A and B are shown apart, each in its own frame.
Chain A
Amino acid sequence: MFRLSKKGLEFVQSEMKRYETKRSAIIPALYCAQNENDGWISQDVIAHLSEVMELPASQIHEVFEFYTMFNKRPVGKNHVQVCCNISCAMNGGRELADHILKEFSVNENEVTSDGKLSVSRVECLGSCGTAPMMQVNDDYYENLTPERAVEILKDL
């Protein structure tokens, strides 16, 4: 059963007071719980947040389901998102994604056997002038070549 850490719980409780409505704390709470749950949201995370926040699980679930940044299944320690939208596609973004998947012998949205890496193709990340690019957890890596991207990922 998932439970927030003491620090996580304090964060969620302070977020519940930060905005005009308690409900606005759902997104920050999901981010926090996701960080503490190996990068994804399971059903018991939602049940726990519902209890902590005293909000119906359905309200938390609808937010969880709606937004793409809440992962529906386990991700790697380093979760790689490669933009394949138009400007990146024109500059090799799709080939970049293919190359990374091949190099680490993993399928899209699955995790490598050592648990270190997962890769998703995603929509525009606002980095079109520095295409192609990837986001690894919180960080952007821009103006990539397939070789450079693999180097970066191996060094993480």
Chain B
Amino acid sequence: MEVKLLSEHYHHDDFREISGYQKRGGYEALKMALKKKPQEIIDEVKNSGLRGRGGAGFPTGIKWGFLPKNGEPRYLLCNADEGEPGTFKDRVILERAPHQLIEGMIISAFAIGSHKSYIYIRGEYVKSRKILEKAIKEAYAQGFLGENILGSGFKHDLDVYSGAGAYICGEETALISSLEGKKGQPTLKPPFPAIEGYLQKPTIINNVESLASVTLISRIGSQAYRKYGTEKSPGTKLFSVSGNVCKPGTYEVPLGYPLMDLINVECGGLRTGRSLKAVIPGGSSAPVLTAEEAQKAFLTYESMAELKTMLGSGAVIVIDDSNCMVDLLHVLTHFYHHESCGQCTPCREGTGWLNKLCGTLMSGQGRLQDIELMDQVARNMMGRTICALSDAAAGPVISFVSKFRSEFEFFVREGRSKIKGGPHAQMHH
């Protein structure tokens, strides 16, 4: 069942305005936080067990703990470069609850001692940006941002920065390069951004939903937050569900909820006459689950890891039996090839080869050994590059090919899809 902790008020249109937000308890958590010691807030977030909601799932409080303790100027960056195919939950927060994000950012900034933050938002989210900019203005006018916030002596400035269309900028070091006005290419870690990030200064980068959750945790406390979820995956999370379900959308459920309940209860199941073929549980980079595996899956970081996939950004893509898996994989190989930044050879060349091989299968010119070759190329792309895009591109290929091999072989033998009404041998894209 849905548990709306974070999204309790998202259905109120005036929640995006400061009056509607404050009417429902908004900025009370900030007032309380500013009376605490920064370390107490960090401890509270650590105790909550909140894990990064952007995809990697790294504990937020522990990330903050990597900052040097020397008082050096530091930056807080909010990653609103939502771009993982299947993911649209941050857009909901940006458009329906901008103040929840802003409040979480001010609390977080106070905790880590940062006087300047940016929200890096993807360029296409023009509407979200406008809503956000209005909200920031309102927060300044009410004295929640700027000099001496609410008489606490704490000073913080927040600004928005738009990207310009590059999936890779969601990777934190690429985001920094982009914000600095360069090509959005990732850089080697270490040094990690917490030590040397934006303008070589210590920098914390957190996802939109993570920062909005800081507001929630500050308000209700880590213990109340931990009443939901599991030991290793505490709290609730927003899931973006898309694909072949009756009611796609964003749903907040406690972590630990069965994947199939999300699909069948919240999303109204599949269309009449269709059966489940596969589920991509955490955005396009997450290895695909078969229908059988999906029955055993719970929405936790650990359950997904056991099934050798990822909870990722919480983007659940539901695939019914009308889809051709060769065709869908080709859509994904095209995407990663398009989005590879080109720095590292295994990724630049590998994504190109994967897309070309998958296209060859789709054209009806493929050979059986090309299926093997795809698997080999993908395996050789893993763990050999600066950032995770290469691995992200390889994961779907390896899982699609191994779990739905008969569809790939059928395409080679017959020159058409195994799926009735599926694509015939032809070039697409």
Interface, chain A (partner B; CB < 8 A): 18-28, 30-31, 59, 62-63, 65-70, 84-87, 89-91, 94, 121, 123-131, 135, 138-140
**Cβ of B399 to closest chain A Cβ, rounded Å:** 14
Segment from B22-30, B40-48, B123-131, B349-357 that makes contact with A: B123-131
The answer for the CA separation of A18 and B116 in the assembled complex, in Å, is 12
Q: Is the interface on chain B under 10, 10 to 19, 20 to 34, or 35 or more residues?
A: 35 or more
Q: Which residue of B lies closest to A143 (CB)?
A: B248
Flag if B159 contacts A24 (CB, 8 Å): no
Chain A residues contacting B123 (CB-CB under 8 Å) are 31, 67, 69
17 A-B Cβ contacts within 8 A? A19-B181, A21-B199, A23-B180, A24-B179, A27-B178, A59-B181, A63-B182, A65-B183, A66-B183, A66-B341, A84-B331, A86-B317, A86-B331, A124-B87, A124-B167, A129-B240, A139-B126
**Cβ of B167 to closest chain A Cβ, rounded Å:** 7
Interface centre among A67, A129, A130 (most CB of B within 10 A): A129
Chain B residues contacting A125 (CB-CB under 8 Å) are 124
Q: Which residue of B lies closest to A121 (CB)?
A: B429
**Cβ of A37 to closest chain B Cβ, rounded Å:** 15
Chain A residues contacting B182 (CB-CB under 8 Å) are 23, 59, 62-63
Chain B residues contacting A89 (CB-CB under 8 Å) are 327-328, 331
The answer for the CA separation of A68 and B178 in the assembled complex, in Å, is 13
As a 0/1 sequence over residues 239 to 260 of chain B, the CB contacts with chain A under 8 angstroms (1 = contact) are 0111110001110000000000
* A-B CB pair tally, cutoff 8 Å: 146
Segment from B13-21, B63-71, B77-85, B300-308 that makes contact with A: B77-85
Known contacts A23-B181, A66-B184, A126-B82; decide if A85 and B331 are in contact (CB<8 Å).
yes
**Cβ of B244 to closest chain A Cβ, rounded Å:** 6
As a 0/1 sequence over residues 310 to 348 of chain B, the CB contacts with chain A under 8 angstroms (1 = contact) are 000001010100010001100110010011010000000
Flag if B163 contacts A67 (CB, 8 Å): yes
B164 at the interface (CB under 8 A from A): yes
B428 at the interface (CB under 8 A from A): yes
**Cβ of B112 to closest chain A Cβ, rounded Å:** 18
Contacts A24-B181, A127-B88 known; 4 new A-B pairs at CB < 8 A: A21-B199, A27-B161, A85-B85, A126-B87
Flag if B163 contacts A124 (CB, 8 Å): no
Known contacts A66-B166, A140-B127; decide if A87 and B180 are in contact (CB<8 Å).
no
B383 at the interface (CB under 8 A from A): no
Known contacts A67-B123, A123-B85, A139-B127; decide if A128 and B240 are in contact (CB<8 Å).
yes
Flag if A90 contacts B323 (CB, 8 Å): yes
Chain B residues contacting A135 (CB-CB under 8 Å) are 124
Flag if A90 contacts B335 (CB, 8 Å): no
Flag if B183 contacts A63 (CB, 8 Å): yes
Interface centre among A31, A91, A123, A124 (most CB of B within 10 A): A124
**Cβ of B89 to closest chain A Cβ, rounded Å:** 9
Chain B residues contacting A65 (CB-CB under 8 Å) are 183
Flag if B161 contacts A24 (CB, 8 Å): yes
Chain A residues contacting B161 (CB-CB under 8 Å) are 19, 24, 27
Chain B residues contacting A84 (CB-CB under 8 Å) are 331, 429
Interface centre among A62, A86, A91, A140 (most CB of B within 10 A): A86
The answer for the CA separation of A65 and B185 in the assembled complex, in Å, is 13
The answer for the CA separation of A86 and B124 in the assembled complex, in Å, is 18
Known contacts A23-B181, A123-B335; decide if A68 and B86 are in contact (CB<8 Å).
no
The answer for the CA separation of A31 and B198 in the assembled complex, in Å, is 23
As a 0/1 sequence over residues 374 to 405 of chain B, the CB contacts with chain A under 8 angstroms (1 = contact) are 00000000000000000000000000000000
Chain A residues contacting B90 (CB-CB under 8 Å) are 126
Flag if B86 contacts A86 (CB, 8 Å): yes
**Cβ of A95 to closest chain B Cβ, rounded Å:** 11
Flag if A94 contacts B428 (CB, 8 Å): yes
The answer for the CA separation of A128 and B244 in the assembled complex, in Å, is 11
The answer for the CA separation of A31 and B162 in the assembled complex, in Å, is 10
**Cβ of B158 to closest chain A Cβ, rounded Å:** 13
